[in-house]
Amino acid sequence: MQTQASRSPQHANPAGQHSKSVSLRNVSKFFGDTRVLHDLSLDVRAGEFLVLLGESGCGKTTALRIVAGLESASEGSIYVGENDVSQQLPRDRDVAMVFQSYALYPHKTVFENIAYPLIVRKRAKAEIDAAVREVAASVHLEPQLDRYPRQLSGGQRQRVALARAIVRRPAAFLMDEPLSNLDAKLRGHMRAELKHMQHELGVTTIYVTHDQIEAMTLAHRVALIDKGVLQQLDAPARIYSDPANLFVAGFIGSPPMNFLRGTLANNRFESEGLAIAADVNHQGEAVLGVRAEDCALVAAGEGEFRGRIYSVELIGDHSLVTVNVGEQQVVVKVSNMFAGEIGTEVGLRANRERVYFFDQASGKRIR
Amino acid sequence: MIKRLFVPTRLDEIPIGTRVIAYGLLGLWTLVVLFPLYWMAITSFKLPIDVANGPAYVPFVDFKPSLDAWHYIFVDLGPDTYRPYMNSLVIATLSTVAAVFLGSMAAYALARIEYKPPVAAVGLAVLMLALVVAAVGWGGVDLRIAVAVCGALFFLLLRPIVRRARRHLANDDIIFWMISQRILPPVVTVIPIYLTFKSAGLLDTRTALIITYATANLPIVVWLMFDFFASVPKEIEESAQIDGATRFAILFGIVVPLVAPGIVATGLLVLILSWNEYLFALFLSTANAQTLPLLVAAQNATRGPQWWNMSVLILIMILPVMLLTLTLQRFIVKGILVGAVKG
Amino acid sequence: MQSSSRVSSSAASRRGSRRSVAANWLDRQAPYVFVLPAVLLILGFSIFPLVTSAYLSLMRFALGEGGYELKFVGMRNYVRLFSGSQQFHFVGVFRPPGVISIAVMAAAALAIGWWLVRYLRGGQRSVIGGIGRLIAAASLLAVVWLAANTTGDGGALGSLMVTLFYVVFGVALQFLLGLGLAYLCTLPLKGGRFFRILFFLPLMVTPVGIAYMFRMMADTAVGPLAPLWAWLGLGQIAWAADPWLARIVVVIGDTWQWVPFMFLVLLAALEGTSRDQIEAAQLDGASSWRIFRDVIWPSIAPVAASAVLIRLIEAFKVVDLPNVLTNGGPGIATESMTLHAFIEWRTLNLGSASAVAYMLFFVSTIACVSFFQLVVRRARGRQS
């Protein structure tokens, strides 16, 4: 089976020699009585771009900070390469971090900001100078070297933060939602820049975000986390097309996947206004999931669903039609020429290969 | 080897060496803070002979505590103790209320209304003041006449000057002027104030101190309350204005409840300042309006080495402040910080 | 929808017309009513006395039959303070210049001169800036000269130098102790909250009470530290009879009271330091000391400067502590300028008292404004 199971990192630049794999093994974290991370295990390969994706408060930033050494794990251990770094101070772990707020030193120039990690490690002045200029060139910051952070734009500050992380040639980059403080247009541009840079440098990267678009576009693999529990660890394509549970299916994709409650019995899924063949062995309450682009509007009476048009929204290059099916709703992607009227009775046909079933109680995918 | 004591063994943990030193230093300062207070507290229960025989540290062990000093201060000296206490209470409370009331009004106005006093008008006011002083000093004119004449002159000349004025001051300047009054050492103003009250027959009265303290603390109230008022969202007031409420109603009915914590903090600060104030009381009061700080200082002269009696006096002076502050300490901290950080 | 808005607007207009003419007039006068009481009071109790005090300082006060008499004497009161009969009281007693004092003077003159020149040649200079710095430099030089020539054998400090001693050493000590304690409280130690509340205590004690408390504590014969003094062999020293010991005790009392203020402000500033920057520095490999120097100190500098300025302003006014603790003694060794003025006033030298008060005003204004311009503004400017 030809799969895109994982985009294996092919790098242009063997500076990726420095980079090592990073592993979290059975990491749990308690804040007081609240358990924030549940037995999290992840292996990030050397040179890989792994995205920790999830909603606010799901624990992804905590996991990142534990890898960095800014927090300690209540249970479990962290490995960088072959070394167990769980008890080591942040500065001994050979990882660099880009903060959401960039954390630039306001009273130092851009040059001094980038040079700081090297100054602190007492490198020679000439060496520092060369390294900083090289890195500044690679992120197009050379004209700004003598300025102060307060004189820079948001995008420039972010590049300074990046440069400061790069200049150390660490074993891994840790990034905490670095694009979330930028406006939408700049964000798209910086995404491309980041991707290119990671490809060039080939450094292991762990990237935290709540934005699924960033995850899908940047990652070699995505780790989706909900309430401190790892939901699925896979390449973006497989997360999209082969979700492991209800949470993953509903989190990825825009518009979100349609969910319909019903009953599975005798290889059939039935609910009010809907009956569809189901090639799974399961009985009981279940949830059917199907994406808006995997449905098509047909005449009433045809297709597996039956309902009434509730609303039509013109998006631009397509339209979204919301259809009431029984007590539930389904959103369908249609051509932007669609001219149906609210209240019309219609039918829906779903692409059988793109229909998913989930157990209603546990949310797990029924295969 | 010793260095290892200072290296962290686990993440999130402070190395033992550092911890010992930190606790040690903090503990030392705790001792420095508490010991003098403790010493004074137990001294108030000592007899003269306990003191003269050398330091006695623990009650019931080194000496037998007695209520003699307390009895002396409250009973034997009864009225001489109650009078200053009541004076301090009344003066501090009334002057605080006045300062907070007037100062908050001014702070609110400065935060919401745009003032543009012409520089010329300010100059005119100062000129008139100088004229009054010169008239009273050189010409021997009666103070009231001088004030009346110069006041009238001021209002007469005000209109034409305002109409022709070109340079104006802004709210910021007014606030800066008010705050800069703090730099003025009270000793510079106290002698003329003394003379003024003397000619008004108000020396050694509570009224004199109430007015003086209220005025002296106005700048602080304005300084602190300004930030509180400025942080109230304007929309609330604007919608009340649209509904037809008067400015007074808006201020007292809507805004004040919103800045209540600020008022409490500021009021507490001013209360403490008034309670502890020494200089003005020193100059302006002798017997009738004697306040507690004066009482302590005066006793110091006559009963200097009578530590037991003095301890009682000081204790009753500081206990109310301590209790009040401890119960409301969160507000004070915020008050000081708002002022300090804003500079 | 439509009808209800009509109802509310008519209700408003009914409410409006219900307001009497008087209420409307009052509302329009509100800007004046709000601000004038405060402004008038401050004008009356600050500007008016300020002018009067200046006037009085040019007079000589004498009690005559039936009342008093004010005789104009020009600058004589001021001259007396500096070179006349009051010189010992205000400026101090001069001693023959020694090698050290001359060396100190020369070094100070050189340093200050170099600083001035650097400013005048620098890029950002202005007339006001230049004049201000000139005044500051001249004052500083004068103070150093005074200090060099009144300390040591044969010399004695006057109230001017004593006040400056209290201000400079007191505030410096309070700042360092406050910073140290605040830093310790930012470490993750148990009992942080307990310490915070506790360290706040001294601020609540009346200064007069503090003065007396320390008088008790410092007694070398029957005070609580008597065993310690005896063990050190200092049991018989009467600190109150030695000028420098007495001054140090005053500074100790002042420090005990004001460290909490510095502690609170600096603690808030330390806690306000961006945690991200500290963590970034940790990841970058900086040691605790480097982090303090490169991240924390620049972050608290503006607040620290403001706090020191506030303390400076208040420290110049000190009077209760020296009055109650030592009564200005021994002799005049612990007299602050305010105390000096009070004593003059008590002996009915109104003119002289006003002159001393005005000198205090000048000195504290020059010091505070210079500090503000040179330190506070620089500290604030360096932040974004």
Which of A108-117, A206-215, C53-62 has the lowest average pLDDT?
Answer: C53-62
pLDDT by residue (tens digit) across A319-341? 999 999 988 999 999 998 888 88
> Comparing C-alpha atoms, which of C80, C73, C43, C79 is closest to residue C55?
C73
Tokens of B156: 């007469």
Considering only CB atoms, which chain C residues are within 8 Å of B126?
47, 51
- Rounded CA separation B81/C162 (Å): 34
Average confidence (pLDDT) over A76-84: 90
CA distance C234 to B100: 50
Choose the mutation target among A72, A75, A77 for the interface with B, i.e. most B CBs under 10 Å.
A72
- Using a CB–CB cut-off of 8 Å, the residues of C that contact A are 274, 276-277, 279-287, 290, 294-295, 298, 382-384
Taking an 8 Å cut-off on Cβ atoms, the answer to whether C383 and A91 are in contact is: no
Q: Is B279 on the interface with C (CB under 8 A)?
A: yes
Looking at residue A5, its pLDDT comes to 43
Reported confidence tier of residue C361, pLDDT bands at 50, 70, 90: very high
What pLDDT, on a 0 to 100 scale, did the predictor assign at position C26? 75
For residues A282 and A264, what is the distance between their CA atoms, to the nearest angstrom?
Answer: 7
Q: Report the top-level CATH class of A14-247.
A: alpha beta
All residue ranges of chain B with pLDDT < 50 are 340-343
**A44 interfaces chain C, CB cutoff of 8 Å:** no
Q: Give me the sheet containing A95-98, strands edge to edge.
A: A95-98, A172-176, A204-209, A49-53, A221-226, A229-234
Q: A7-50: per-residue pLDDT in tens?
A: 445 444 544 567 889 999 999 999 888 899 999 999 999 999 99
Rounded CA gap, A44 and A49, in Å?
8
Distance from CA of C316 to the nearest CA of B (A): 8
Find which of C45, C186, C383 to mutate to test the B interface (most B CBs within 10 Å of its CB). Answer: C45
Tell me: pLDDT of C176 over 90: yes
Report yes or no: A228 and A37 within 8 Å, Cβ to Cβ. Answer: yes
Q: Which of C274, C287, C298 lies closest to A103 in CB terms?
A: C274
Classify each residue of A262-297 as buried b or exposed e, where b means 16 or more C-beta atoms within 10 Å of its C-beta. Answer: bebeeeebbbebbebebeeebeeebbbbbbbebbeb
Q: Report d(CA B191, CA B30) in Å as an integer.
A: 41
What's the confidence (pLDDT) of residue A4?
Answer: 41
The two beta strands, A355-359 and A284-290, are antiparallel
- Residue contact B10–A72, C-beta within 8 A: yes
Rounded Cα gap, residues B169 and B276, in angstroms: 35
The whole-angstrom separation of Cα A7 and Cα C169 is 68
CB-nearest partner of A117 from C279, C285, C382: C285
Q: What residues in B contact C55, CB-CB < 8 Å?
A: 133-134, 137
Q: How sure is the predictor about A123, in pLDDT bands with cuts at 50, 70 and 90?
A: confident
Find the radius of gyration of the CA atoms of chain B: 27
B321 touching C (Cβ < 8 Å): yes
H-helix segments, chain B: 16-43, 48-52, 68-71, 78-112, 119-134, 143-164, 171-180, 186-199, 206-230, 234-242, 247-249, 256-258, 260-276, 279-284, 292-303, 307-327, 329-342
pLDDT given at position A16: 57
d(CA B73, CA C343): 29
Residue among A268, A266, A274, A249 at smallest CA distance from A354 = A249
Contacting subunits of C (3+ beta carbon pairs below 8 A): A, B
Nearest to C384 among A68, A96, A106 (CB): A106
Domain ranges of chain A: 14-247, 256-366
Counting one residue from B and one from C, how many pairs have CB atoms under 8 Å apart?
294
- Say if the Cβ atoms of A95 and C283 lie within 8 Å: yes
The tokens for B179 are: 């705050």
Q: Give the CB-side neighbour count of residue C115, counting CA atoms within 13 A.
A: 14
ipTM given for this complex: 0.80
Compute how many other C-beta atoms are within 10 angstroms of the C-beta atom of residue B209. 27
Q: Which two tokens stand for residue A252?
A: 């990825």
pLDDT band at A249 (very low <50, low <70, confident <90, very high): very high
Question: By three-state DSSP, how is residue B165 classified?
Answer: coil
Dihedrals phi, psi of A332, to nearest 5 degrees:
-125, 140
pLDDT bin (cut points 50, 70, 90) of residue C1 is very low
- Across the interface, whether the CB atoms of A116 and C384 are under 8 A apart is answered no
Residue C311 to residues B62, B217, C340, C361, Cα–Cα distance (Å): 40, 17, 21, 16
How would CATH label the architecture of C90-94+155-381? Orthogonal Bundle (1.10)
Residue C373, SS3 per DSSP: helix
Give SS3 for C279: helix
What gap in Å lies between CA A334 and CA C17, rounded to an integer? 60
Express as a percent the part of chain B with pLDDT over 90.
10
Topology, domain A256-366 = OB fold (Dihydrolipoamide Acetyltransferase, E2P) (2.40.50)
Does residue C330 have a cis peptide bond before it, meaning omega lies within 30 degrees of 0?
Answer: yes
Residues A200-214: tens digit of each pLDDT = 888 999 999 999 889
Highest mean pLDDT among A255-269, B150-164, C138-152: A255-269
Alpha-carbon gap, residue B325 to C265, rounded angstroms = 17
Mark yes or no for CB contact A71/B8 under 8 Å: no
* pLDDT value at residue C163: 92
Mean pLDDT to the nearest integer, C12-26: 62
Closest C-alpha among B218, A58, B96 to residue C45:
B218
Q: What is the pLDDT of residue B329?
A: 67
Query: Residue C384 above 70 pLDDT?
Result: no
Measure in Å the smallest separation between the Cα of A48 and chain C Cα atoms.
Answer: 21
pLDDT band at A68 (very low <50, low <70, confident <90, very high): very high
Judged by CB atoms within 8 Å, which residues 107-166 of A form the interface with C?
107-108, 116-117, 120-121, 148-150, 164
- Mapped onto helix, strand or coil, the DSSP state of residue C332 is coil
pLDDT digits (tens, 9 = 90+) for C326-345: 887 788 888 899 999 998 88
Q: Alpha-carbon distance C81 to C332, whole Å?
A: 14
What local confidence, expressed as pLDDT, does residue A220 receive?
94
Domain made up of B77-115+171-342: CATH architecture:
Orthogonal Bundle (1.10)
Cα distance between residue A49 and residue A192, in whole Å? 14
Instruction: Determine contact, residues A73/A112, Cβ cutoff 8 Å.
Output: no
Residue A106 clears pLDDT 80, i.e. is over it: yes
pLDDT, chain A, mean: 88
Q: Is the pLDDT of residue C198 over 50?
A: yes
Cα–Cα distances (Å) from A82 to A21, A48, A171, in that order, read: 8, 16, 12
Closest by CA to A136, choosing from A172, A160, A152, A153, is A160
Contact state of C383 with A107 under an 8 Å Cβ cutoff: yes
Work out the mean pLDDT of chain C and round it to a whole number: 83
